[in-house]
Amino acid sequence: MDLVPIPYAPLPIKLRDNRQYVNYLPKQPIISIMQDMNKKQRYERQIVLPEIGQKGQKKISNASVLCIGAGGLGCPALLYLVAAGVGHVGIVDFDTVDETNLQRQVLFTVDQIGQNKAVAAKERLNALNSEIKIQAYAEELNDKNAEDLFRQYDIIIDGTDNFSAKFLINDVAVKIGKPFVYASILGFDGQVAVFNYDGGPCYRCLFPEAPKTYVPNCAEAGVIGAVAGMIGTAQAMEALKIIVGHDSFQPLAGKLWTIDMHSMENKLLSLPKNLDCPTCSQAKDKITLQYSSSVCGVIPEVTPEQAKKNEGALIIDVRETEEWGAGHIHDAKHIALSTLMQGTIPDLPTDCEIILYCQKGKRGEHAAQILKTQGYLNVNNMVGGYEAWLSDHSPPVEKKTSRNI
């Protein structure tokens, strides 16, 4: 090992025969040498793989990955990315840990219930690997903050469960040139793909827009934790394949891997690039970002008095047919919540406010969540529902026109 004098006043070393020698240190500081030795020992089980090696491990240590969502997909993906030594990991999640999450979101413990997920995940991941940089963003990803966040990372992991978020992730990734690893789970089914990578298609090449039929999320349709674990782990592997870039690795760019865990039957489908794609066929500076929050609790609310004064609004009764028949708001339209939940989504106007109501307000909020996932940004819920409307004695404003749906 080459030796050089230390760059400050040398300290003499006195030996037994009273001779003195100037202290010398290796070019690389001792602490750095020890850190490298610790890293080699920590990651030796993957370094020994010829596809990884020291060169691949250095790439992993220098890489940065942003995970959107620390839920059923994000938790296993984050665990394996951090364990592998990805040097910089970001976690975006506005939500808090709930007891129902513990069945599949394996990062969290009972004593973290009520904590923000991004912060709680960072705490657990730091305990797993304190040598890397982990950042928690306790906020919702939206069209205002997404670009700034994405620019700080090499790869994006999609751990979300709604179309609005997935479209935003895709559009930002295409706009600023970042690959993202997509996944989706429902019941016993899962799918994984890599979009916007190596000239491959983007998410909108597969889904140009949200389906007209309502697709329930895991809270409504259910999911078993092992499905989330398997699919989230596959996302971590795809990210590591992109980072290391070994010739034998074939990331799922232009491919969609699906699996039915009832039978473990899986398929690998080819995804061609859509030359008429509404996003990746455009110039990057022409891509506009839109986002409709699907966060429970952020549905705008109006009072019956405000609803009565809004002469241009479309008012929709989401109660069942029997309730509608027993009495309803004059000029309101009827679309039962059960109809929306079955996937029948009517074409609604986007040039006016839509006010939903039920009997007391809860079903109206649920219906609003469904419509927001379908891209309707103009949806409101009337607090107190029809009962509050009947109790409010303010006179309604006469509507100029009746809107058809």
SS3 of residue 28 by DSSP: coil
Alpha carbon distance 278, 15 (integer Å):
76
The pair of structure tokens assigned to 104 is 């599949």
Q: Residues 341, 368: contact at Cβ < 8 Å?
A: no
Query: Could you confirm whether 280 is annotated as catalytic?
Result: no
Annotation marks residue 358 as catalytic: yes
Q: Which two tokens stand for residue 263?
A: 């039978």
Buried b (16+ CB within 10 A) or exposed e, 44-76: eebbeeeebeeebbebbbebbbbbbbbbbbbbb
Catalytic choice (67, 75, 280, 358): 358
The tokens describing 18, both together, are 């009273």
* Given the residues 67, 218, 280, 352, the one annotated as active site: 218
Q: Two tokens at 83?
A: 């364990």
Distance between CA 134 and CA 87 in Å, rounded? 8
Q: Which two tokens stand for residue 141?
A: 């990803």
Secondary structure percentages of the chain, helix, strand, coil, to 5: 35, 20, 45
If one counts every other C-beta atom within 10 angstroms of the C-beta of residue 219, the result is 11
CA nearest neighbour of 280 among 178, 182, 151? 178
Tokens 């949806």 correspond to: 379
Say how far apart CA 287 and CA 169 lie, in whole Å.
13
Q: For residues 228 and 149, give the distance between their C-alpha atoms in angstroms, rounded to a whole number.
A: 25
Q: Which helix (H) or strand (E) is 371 found in, with range?
A: helix 362-373
CB atoms within 10 A of CB 247: 6
User: Do residues 220 and 154 lie in contact, with contact meaning Cβ atoms separated by under 8 Å?
Assistant: no
Residues carrying an active site annotation:
218, 358
